[in-house]
Structure 1
Amino acid sequence: MKQQKQLNQAIQTARDHGLLPFQVPYVEFTGEDYSNSHDAVGHTRPPPSMTSGDPWYPWYGTLQPDESEVARVKKLYKNYLK
């Protein structure tokens, strides 16, 4: 509610200075607008490759990291690795 008051005050100030020559509509937001119970926030099923144990990308399973590069990165970040 505090943010709504600040927004209304900012709109009124802008209107007083001539920056908003048009009417800004007031829209009442309910708690339902911010809930996690709608479809856009639902759980996504895992892709078939994840359930079968295959890698996400077909070419990813064949890659082998360069051991010297892995050692270099481990040395670089050893203070941050657990």
Structure 2
Amino acid sequence: MADHGSSFTTSDLSRKSGDIIAEALRHPVTITQRNKPRLVLLNIEDYERLMRQSNVRTVETIDTMSDQLFAQFEAAVDAYADSDDANR
């Protein structure tokens, strides 16, 4: 989540909570404290979507890997082996 939309300080949160909440209903809002991001306010739909995505865990073995993913894996292993041989 690189872009958190708008950014407000914790002081802004106490002074402009209504405006910040209205903005958070449209897109995620970052709350900073001492110039560091500390919180993200987001609407419930975005939160629920993130929770669903985080609960999806995929475990694959070589036997269950798609042919395309296996080819990428094999190419990465070959590239690593070639670079390792070159460094010897």
Q: Same fold (TM over 0.5)?
A: no
**Which one has a larger percent helix, Structure 1 or Structure 2?**
2
Q: Give me the TM-score of the superposition, normalised by structure 1.
A: 0.28
**Which one has a larger percent strand, Structure 1 or Structure 2?**
2
Q: Give me the TM-score of the superposition, normalised by structure 2.
A: 0.27
Task: Say which one has the larger Rg.
Answer: 1
Of structures 1 and 2, the one with the larger relative CO (CA 8 A, separation 6+) is 2
